Amino acid sequence: MRTGQYILVVEDEPKIREGLQDFLEFHGFCVTGAADGLAAERLAAERRFDLILLDLMLPQISGEQLCLKWRQAGLRTPILMLTAKGQEKEKIAGLDLGADDYITKPFSLEELLARIRAVLRRTDPTRSVGQAFAFGPFTVDMERLTLADDHGTTALTRRQAMMLQVFAANPGRIVTRQELYEAVWNESLEGIETRTIDMHIARLRDLLDQAGQAAELIQTVRGEGYRYDVC
């Protein structure tokens, strides 16, 4: 089953990179490989990833330099570093530079998968998109609470903006009502009617429609939740 989550694998050893790519794709991730720091930099600037798997020892720009650069530039994508045995100092430095976790080579693929899932679980599902992000043809601004395109600007409530942020952080993936509720209302859905969420979604679709765009951007997946179809 596809997770709809995007991983950038930065590793100069072709065999390791391709092995990781195959393994993660098998487990439902969409994977892009980068053979060096410059390629990784370019890819991360071009599009959004849910997680970056970053080897420390790379030609041109090292993993540490890259991590530092990204964090200084405000990139918030979770970073899992790949280190070699005995690089204790580097590991600690890596965490100081803003990596979320590290794993020591040689590692088992199952362990790597568990670490990736743990990092994805504990990182805020919306942090990868930041304070201003694209939603279909719109730009959503979390500070001003606006939905804007070439034709105009529509005001959003904080909850509406947060719902859009959750969808934007999970393109193509089913977002359950429970997930929405936890992310936006910061509570568990227990004891709350799911109708509440559905009403908020209906209102959001009205807004998208009035702003001149397809309410179809947010699809209902019967019995499961909603899905943001980027198309």
d(CA 153, CA 161): 13
Single-letter code of the amino acid located at 53 = L
Q: Please say which residue, 62 or 146, places its beta carbon nearer to Ca ion.
A: 62
Residues of this chain that interact with Ca ion (CB under 5 A) are 12, 55, 57
**Minimum distance between the CB of residue 198 and Ca ion, rounded to whole angstroms?**
49
Choose among 58, 53, 64: nearest CA to 36: 58
Q: Please say which residue, 12 or 149, places its beta carbon nearer to Ca ion.
A: 12
**Minimum distance between the CB of residue 135 and Ca ion, rounded to whole angstroms?**
37
**Minimum distance between the CB of residue 62 and Ca ion, rounded to whole angstroms?**
9
Q: Please say which residue, 23 or 185, places its beta carbon nearer to Ca ion.
A: 23
Beta strands per DSSP E along the chain: 6-10, 30-34, 51-55, 79-84, 101-105, 132-135, 138-141, 146-149, 152-155, 174-176, 218-221, 225-228
**Minimum distance between the CB of residue 57 and Ca ion, rounded to whole angstroms?**
4
130: tokens are 């930041």
**Minimum distance between the CB of residue 171 and Ca ion, rounded to whole angstroms?**
30
Q: Please say which residue, 82 or 201, places its beta carbon nearer to Ca ion.
A: 82
Residue closest to Ca ion when measured from CB atoms? 57
| Sheet with 152-155, edge to edge strand ranges | 132-135, 138-141, 146-149, 152-155
d(CA 161, CA 33): 32
Is the link from the previous residue into 78 a cis peptide, with omega within 30 of 0? no
Q: Please say which residue, 58 or 147, places its beta carbon nearer to Ca ion.
A: 58
Q: Please say which residue, 81 or 166, places its beta carbon nearer to Ca ion.
A: 81
Which residues, 6 or more positions from 200, have their beta carbon under 8 angstroms from its beta carbon? 159, 160, 163
223: tokens are 């019995």
